[in-house]
Structure 1
Amino acid sequence: MDVKDSNGNTLADGDTVTLIKDLKVKGASTTLKRGTTVKKIRLTDDPDEVDCKVGGMSIVLRTEFLKKI
């Protein structure tokens, strides 16, 4: 399975990415700001989603909103 970020770069477990858009978190009153760095992502069974921890919360992010560093 080939997982790609918004620019077409291949993502792997443990990569560091940044957000390219402000995202509202469902179920929480938090907004993730553009430019936020997310470390140690984990790939899921869906090639369009990655699992990660941001601010102590474990969340799933869409790869279309990520850019590999």
Structure 2
Amino acid sequence: MDTVKNRLKELRARDSLNQTELAKLAQISRQTVSLIERGEYLPSILIALKIAKIFKEPVEQVFSLAEGESK
């Protein structure tokens, strides 16, 4: 199975958001944000797009396949 990397923690720091604030903006739970950051949960396309929009970044700049894992 492919591994997905994300930049949530980095982007939250850049925008001075904590997990709770990001969760509220994305309409998800803080626990979900934490799981996504740790790579323990793959967000749906809808959640990934919402998060990318919050950070004003293309979704590919927020989520990506881990090096050497793409086919």
Q: Same fold (TM over 0.5)?
A: no
| Alignment TM class, shorter chain as reference | 0.3 to 0.5
Of structures 1 and 2, the one with the larger relative CO (CA 8 A, separation 6+) is: 2
Q: Normalised by the size of structure 2, how large is the TM-score?
A: 0.32
Q: Normalised by the size of structure 1, how large is the TM-score?
A: 0.32
More helix by share: 2
Pair member with larger Rg: 2
